[in-house]
Amino acid sequence: MKTRKIPYTIHYSLFTIHRPFLGFTLVEILIVVAILGILASVIIPEYRNYTQKAKESAAKENLQMLRSAIERYAIQHNGVAPGYDSNTGFPVPSLVESQLKGYLQKFPENPLNDTSSILLVSAGGSFASEPYLTNIFGWVYKPQTKEIRLNWTGTDSQGVRYYDY
């Protein structure tokens, strides 16, 4: 078996050392990793801001669709908001979604917690000062006033509470 010699020459001058290319040195790899880390530290926060703004925009859009559907339903049902049982006259949470089916292609989810269930404010009651059970309910709805709110804590990128949208 023939052995192949790799030419390796070192010239003793200040600036030239010739060696065959055997791979990258540790310093070269560390420099590339440092540059990638710096780029990632700049890009990742910007990406998160865009995804958060997209969720905020989707939440506003979904609220507008729901409010519009609630108004159209009430207009066609002599001012009675969706959610009321026609037999008893009492609000029933499960009725809201079924009554709005003809006014929406699909009942929208809260994009911040990915739930579409509705928490009804009882007759004569008022909205709580803070969102309630955000992992279960996506929306808080008061049939008496036809108001619907986003059920999520915190503030958006403009400093407005999600619950106050």
Instruction: Judge whether 38 lies within some domain.
Output: yes
Instruction: Judge whether 101 lies within some domain.
Output: yes
Instruction: Judge whether 13 lies within some domain.
Output: no
Instruction: Judge whether 95 lies within some domain.
Output: yes
| CA–CA gap between residue 148 and residue 165 (Å, rounded) | 9
Banded pLDDT at 42 (limits 50, 70, 90): confident
| CA–CA gap between residue 142 and residue 91 (Å, rounded) | 9
Number of domains in the chain: 1
Q: Is the pLDDT of residue 30 over 90?
A: yes
**3 CA to centre of own chain:** 62
Instruction: Judge whether 17 lies within some domain.
Output: no
**Structural domain of residue 146, as residue ranges?**
26-164
- pTM to 2 decimals? 0.67
Q: Phi, psi (5° rounding) for residue 31?
A: -65, -45
| CA–CA gap between residue 107 and residue 82 (Å, rounded) | 13
| CA–CA gap between residue 22 and residue 24 (Å, rounded) | 7
Instruction: Judge whether 157 lies within some domain.
Output: yes
Instruction: Judge whether 6 lies within some domain.
Output: no
Span 118-165, pLDDT tens digits: 888 877 778 888 888 888 899 998 888 889 999 999 888 888 889 888
Q: Is the pLDDT of residue 52 over 60?
A: yes
Instruction: Judge whether 4 lies within some domain.
Output: no
* Mean pLDDT over each residue of the chain, to the nearest integer: 82
